[in-house]
C-alpha cells in the first residue's frame, strides 16, 4: 500500500509524545478518534485507564515516551460517526501493511529516544516489535529480550481491553493486571523499587 493512502482520511499524523530522554517507551496500536483530533497519543478513552494505571504503578506519564505502532487513525464513516478499524499487517491480515508503512517512524522514534525499557501495549505492538510468536496472555509482565530495540522489553494488555470488560469484577481485574505489568516495567528500570 502506498504510504500516502494511510493518512488520506486522518486529520493528522499522531506521532509519539514525551521527552527524548525517556527511559521507558510505551507503544500502543494506533490513534483513536480523539487522538486523531488532538494529535496526541492516548488522550481518548483508552488513555484514561492507561493514565490511572501509570499513576498506580508509580510512573509519571510525562517521564515516559508514549507512541503507537501506526500513526494514523483508521476508520469507516457511518453517518457522522467514525468507527475505528484495526490496523492490518501481513501476519494479521494479508491484504494490507499499515504497520509496515509506519515502521520507519517507529524505528526513528526508537533510535532517538533509545529507551531502557520498551513496553508494548497489546498484541499488535507486541507482535510488530517482538515477533509474531509473542502472546500477551502468556508473555505479559515479564522481561523479554529485544536486543536490537532496547535493553529490556515487556508486553502487557492494551488499555482499551479494560473498557471492553463485561462487569466491574472483570474490569478491576484487567486494570490491576495492567498496573502489575507497568510496575514490573518500572522495576526493570529500578530493580530495587
Ligand atoms: N489506542 C491506541 O492504541 N493508541 C492510542 O493512541 C489510542 C488508542
Q: What is the pLDDT of residues 84-135, one digit of tens each?
A: 776 655 445 423 478 888 999 999 999 999 999 999 999 999 999 999 999 9
* pLDDT tens-digit series, residues 143-193: 999 999 999 999 999 999 999 999 999 999 999 999 999 999 999 997 765
Mutate to test the pocket of ligand 1, among 37, 40, 46 (most ligand atoms within 8 A of CB): 46
What is the residue whose three cell numbers read 513496553? 119
Rounded-to-integer distance, Cα 123 and Cα 6, Å: 21
Alpha-carbon distance values, 49 to 135, 160, 187 (Å): 22, 8, 20
Confidence of residue 5 (pLDDT cuts 50, 70, 90): low
| Cα 86 to ligand 1 centre (Å) | 11
Taking residues 7-24, report their average pLDDT. 90
Is the pLDDT at 46 greater than 70? The verdict is: yes
Closest protein CA for atom 3 of ligand 1: 29
Strands 81-84 and 150-156: unpaired
Alpha-carbon distance values, 151 to 23, 51, 64, 70, 119 (Å): 11, 24, 16, 23, 11
Which numbered atom of ligand 1 lies nearest the CA of 41?
6
Amino acid at each position: 500500500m502506498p504510504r500516502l493512502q494511510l493518512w488520506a482520511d486522518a486529520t493528522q499524523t499522531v506521532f509519539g509524545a514525551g521527552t527524548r530522554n525517556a527511559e521507558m517507551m510505551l507503544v500502543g496500536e494506533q490513534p483513536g478518534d480523539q487522538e486523531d483530533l488532538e494529535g496526541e497519543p492516548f488522550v481518548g478513552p483508552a488513555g484514561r485507564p492507561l493514565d490511572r494505571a501509570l499513576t498506580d504503578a508509580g510512573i509519571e506519564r510525562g517521564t515516559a515516551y508514549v507512541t503507537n505502532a501506526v500513526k494514523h487513525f483508521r476508520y469507516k464513516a457511518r453517518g457522522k460517526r467514525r468507527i475505528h478499524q484495526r490496523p492490518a499487517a501481513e501476519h494479521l491480515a494479508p491484504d494490507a501493511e499499515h504497520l509496515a508503512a509506519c515502521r520507519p517512524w517507529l524505528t526513528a522514534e526508537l533510535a532517538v529516544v533509545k529507551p531502557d525499557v520498551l513496553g508494548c501495549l497489546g498484541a499488535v505492538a507486541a507482535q510488530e516489535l517482538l515477533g509474531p510468536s509473542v502472546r500477551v496472555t502468556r508473555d505479559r509482565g515479564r522481561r523479554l529480550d529485544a536486543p536490537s530495540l532496547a535493553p529490556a522489553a515487556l508486553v502487557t494488555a492494551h488499555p482499551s481491553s479494560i473498557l471492553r470488560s463485561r462487569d466491574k469484577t472483570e474490569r478491576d481485574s484487567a486494570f490491576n493486571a495492567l498496573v502489575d505489568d507497568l510496575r514490573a516495567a518500572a522495576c526493570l528500570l529500578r530493580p530495587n523499587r
